[in-house]
């Protein structure tokens, strides 16, 4: 798997995640309206709440990791990609020889 240091778009956005949580809450409300025991509905809502809190922690950690990258990291990664492409094509250049 190739790692790309450039900022990649997550599979879902924060807005998508919020929509999912809202949908789950509405489904829990339907369970309550449908005659499910209150204790069962509360367990579902508690699970949604814990998952949301865990997701928030992960999103903060992801943002902190992205912000910790310096512009030098991005330049170096770009140069390494260029070097790999040149090597694949059999091109040897003094410009990329010092990247190792």
pLDDT digits (tens, 9 = 90+) for 71-99: 777 778 888 888 888 888 877 766 656 65
What would the two tokens of residue 99 be? 């990247």
State the Cα–Cα distance between residues 32 and 25, nearest whole angstrom.
11
- Is residue 54 a part of any domain in this protein? yes
Q: Which residue has the tokens 């992801």?
A: 62
Domain match, 76 and 58 both? no
Name the residue with tokens 């995640």: 17
Range of the domain at 51: 12-68
Q: Are 48 and 21 in contact (CB under 8 A)?
A: yes
In a domain, 74, yes or no: yes
Tell me whether residue 2 is in a domain: no
Answer yes or no: do 28 and 75 share one domain. Answer: no
The reported pTM is 0.52
| Token couple for 51 | 């998952």
Domain total in the chain: 2
12-64 pLDDT, tens digit per residue, is 778 888 888 999 999 999 988 998 898 898 999 999 998 888 888 888 888 88
Rounded to whole angstroms, the Cα distance separating 23 from 95 reads 54
């Amino acid at each position: 798997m190739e790692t790309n240091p450039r900022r990649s778009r997550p599979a879902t956005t924060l807005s998508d995640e919020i929509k999912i949580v809202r949908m789950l809450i509405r489904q829990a409300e339907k369970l309550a309206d449908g005659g499910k025991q209150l204790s069962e509905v509360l367990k579902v809502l508690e699970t949604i709440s814990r998952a949301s809190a865990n997701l928030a922690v992960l999103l903060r950690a992801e943002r902190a990791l992205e912000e910790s990258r310096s512009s030098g990291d991005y330049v170096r990664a770009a140069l390494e990609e260029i070097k790999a492409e040149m090597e694949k094509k059999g091109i040897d250049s003094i410009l990329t020889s010092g990247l190792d």
